[in-house]
Amino acid sequence: MSNSSTLALKRFGHISPNTINAAIQKLFKQEKIPVAHFTVHDLRRTCRSLLAEAGVAGHVAERCLNHKLKGV
């Protein structure tokens, strides 16, 4: 394990914030994702849309995405 990987593990636990982005980029390079463009944020938008469709209250859905609520 490289020194930077060791530092990331100590700082963030088992997974660093860039792990999913790196995995997505690897899949694009291997041409295993059949879309023109995709980011982790697309997953967040999809999650928010599905929560709304499921009838989850807006303030609950926003907290699920770790968004801060005004006035709270």
Q: pLDDT at position 10, please?
A: 65
The number of folded domains in the chain is 2
Q: Verify that 59 and 72 share a domain, yes or no.
A: yes
Clarify whether residues 43 and 70 are in a common domain. yes
Q: What whole-number distance in Å separates Cα of residue 31 and Cα of residue 69?
A: 39
Asked if 11 and 28 sit in the same domain, the reply is yes
Same domain, residue pair 50 and 24: no
Q: Do 2 and 17 belong together in one domain?
A: yes
Mean pLDDT of the chain: 81
Q: What is the pLDDT of residue 50?
A: 97
DSSP letter assigned to residue 32: -
Is the per-residue pLDDT at 12 higher than 70?
Answer: no
pLDDT of residue 8: 53
* More reliable by pLDDT, 61 or 16: 61
Residue 46 shares a structural domain with residue 68: yes
Q: What global pTM score does this model have?
A: 0.60
pLDDT score at 5: 56
Q: Which residues constitute the domain of residue 58?
A: 39-72
- Quote the tokens at residue 12: 């963030």
30 with 45, same domain? no
